[in-house]
Amino acid sequence: MSEWNDKIIEEFRANGGTVGGPFEGTPLILLTTTGARTGAARTNPVACLRDGDRILVFASYAGAPRHPDWYHNLLANPTVTVEAGDGTAIETFTATAVPVTGEERDRMYARQAELVPVFADYQAGTSRVIPVVALYRRDHERARAIGDELVRIHDGLRAEMAALLAAVEDGLTTGTPVNLPGRDLEGALRERCLSFCTAFHEHHVNENERGFPLLERAFPGLAPTLDRLREEHVRLARIREDLRAAVDEAGPGDPAALKARLTGLSAELEAHFAREEEQLVAALNAL
């Protein structure tokens, strides 16, 4: 497999991002992840689908019964490197990998299977749900405005929540421990939960004590919106505690129940993040 990948990578780079053989006509990128156990850079050619400003990739592993290593790598470290070509030149950039779940995952996978029918065969040939991952480009060439920073922080929290859901899904589909060094499913979930809850709490403390007062002074008309978002912060603090309780109570014995609770919490968080981004990003960037 490594030798086969190396040949595709070499052809991809030599031909501006196009290859022949079984992948001829299939959009590809080269995805470089950091090894979850080794810390070494690992590059794999993966089929992709462009969806607006993001790139979707599919952990099909040709329908194998387990997820590919690169998928476990990006769960452990969602910062990845992407090489994308247009047939003449290759562009390399850094991206954040965020697993896509639920109805959106099903819709995106169905679109890919319609465009590249072999992906329908891959899913039909395995009992696991083939993961879909969204790659969000990071722009290091310009200073990041405050509003863009808010989106970046939200994306990091989204990635942590998605990793929690993916870990539970892994337990449901494979019955094997999560691929984190020295951690069984319960231990990995606790580790993910602690990381998410701590970052989430610090984010809202910074918003309430620094960001919101700054906006109120600069844009008095935003006061009603900010008051509503503060109220949501109180409710989301309870959600954060519920998340910890869900991990503590469920453990590795009932991943289906834990998945249901996490899915509900994730939906509320996403609604809040989307509301903040819609109503605050332009004002923050204006500062």
Residue pLDDT, tens place only, 162-189:
877 777 777 666 655 434 334 455 555 5
Residue pLDDT, tens place only, 1-49:
678 888 999 999 999 988 888 778 889 999 999 998 899 999 999 999 9
Rounded CA separation 114/120 (Å): 8
Cβ-in-10-Å burial (0-12, 13-18, 19+) of 155 comes to middle
The vertex-94 CA angle with 204 and 278, nearest 5°, equals 40
Residues facing 221 on adjacent strands: none
Predicted TM-score of the model (pTM):
0.52
Amino acid identity for residue 181 in this structure = P
Does residue 72 have a pLDDT over 70? yes
* β-strand pairing of 41-51 with 54-58: antiparallel
Tell me the helix, strand and coil percentages in the chain, rounded to 5. 60, 15, 20
Q: Which residues contact 234 (CB under 8 A, 6 or more apart)?
A: none
Rounded CA separation 222/105 (Å): 35
Averaged pLDDT, 141-150? 59
Amino acid identity for residue 246 in this structure = A
Q: What was the pLDDT predicted at 252?
A: 47
Residue pLDDT, tens place only, 241-272:
776 776 666 554 466 777 777 787 788 888 88
List phi, psi (to 5°) of 19: -140, 165
Residues facing 43 on adjacent strands: 32
List phi, psi (to 5°) of 35: -55, 130
Least confident segment among 8-17, 98-107, 205-214, 245-254: 245-254
